[in-house]
Amino acid sequence: MSGQTTRNKITEAALMLFNGQGLQNVTLQQIANEASISVGNLAYHFHDKEQILKKIGNLISADMDKILRLWKNLPGLLDFDNQLTRLYHLLDTYSFYFLDILEIKRLYPYIHAVQQEHIANFILQLQQWFESNMKRELILELKSEQTRKIAEMIWFISSFWMTKKKILEKEEFFEGAFKDMIWQQIRPFMTNQGINEFEIIVYPGLIRE
């Protein structure tokens, strides 16, 4: 088995355990057992849990960067809806990363700094998305402080969606409900042209369960 394959097995095992049990509750022994390797072999690839967390953080960064680039390069309403699907699946795939945000801040300052970069980029790119759609006359003319507040609210909903899902333990927190909640933050600021495009092109494509 190649070193890269082993590293991937460890990362996948850790991610599954972190999502299921929480970051602090998982030991290196449990990760090694899940990956079907010895603790010594695991330590050869990752000295500690923080190194595994950094690896997972790099994966999240790459996935998030793709979504944010699409916000900039494909600003259309239907494109944005498709990107919300990608965002929901990122939140679901790496749920512990958002559920354990305070724990990460306290125990892993480096990872927390990366999270802060994610948040800043998320808000900035979303503001630029608003600006693009103001030029297309789909969004009303808004001041930068207004777009920032809306972007911060969308970040808040996104970051704490899985927390809400875990706490309330209800079935309705599926992808369609997530996307509906985000659109509810945007729709009041659409022009008539934007509302027409949303209802004709985007709304039928939203997932309903």
Q: How confident is the model over 50-91, as pLDDT tens digits?
A: 999 999 999 999 999 999 888 888 889 999 999 999 999 999
Residue-wise pLDDT for 161-194, tens only, equals: 888 777 776 666 688 889 999 999 999 999 999 9
**Where is pLDDT greater, at 164 or 208?**
164
Please tell me what DSSP assigns to residue 203.
G
pLDDT at 168: 73
pLDDT at 209: 41
For residue 96 the two structure tokens come to 């512990």
pLDDT at 167: 75
* Residue 81, CA distances (Å) to 8, 68, 121, 182, 208 in order: 31, 13, 19, 9, 13
For residue 205 the two structure tokens come to 């494509």
**Where is pLDDT greater, at 208 or 157?**
157
pLDDT at 3: 60
* Mean pLDDT, residues 94-107 taken together: 92
What is the identity of the amino acid at 37? I
Phi, psi dihedrals of residue 190, rounded to the nearest 5°: -85, 145
User: Does 143 score more than 70 pLDDT?
Assistant: yes
| Cα 86 from Cα 164, distance rounded (Å) | 19
Residue-wise pLDDT for 20-57, tens only, equals: 999 999 999 999 999 999 999 999 999 999 999 999 99
Percentage of the chain exceeding pLDDT 70: 93
* pTM summary value: 0.88
What is the identity of the amino acid at 168? L
CA pseudo-torsion sign 58, 60, 63, 69: negative
pLDDT at 2: 57
pLDDT at 170: 64
pLDDT at 71: 86
Cβ-based neighbours of 5, under 8 Å, separated by 6 or more = none
| Cα 198 from Cα 195, distance rounded (Å) | 5
CA torsion 60-65-66-70 (nearest 10°) is 140
pLDDT at 206: 47
Cβ-based neighbours of 7, under 8 Å, separated by 6 or more = 45, 46, 55
Residue 134 confidence class, pLDDT cut points 50, 70, 90: very high
* Mean pLDDT, residues 10-28 taken together: 96
Cβ-based neighbours of 122, under 8 Å, separated by 6 or more = 64, 68, 151, 155, 158
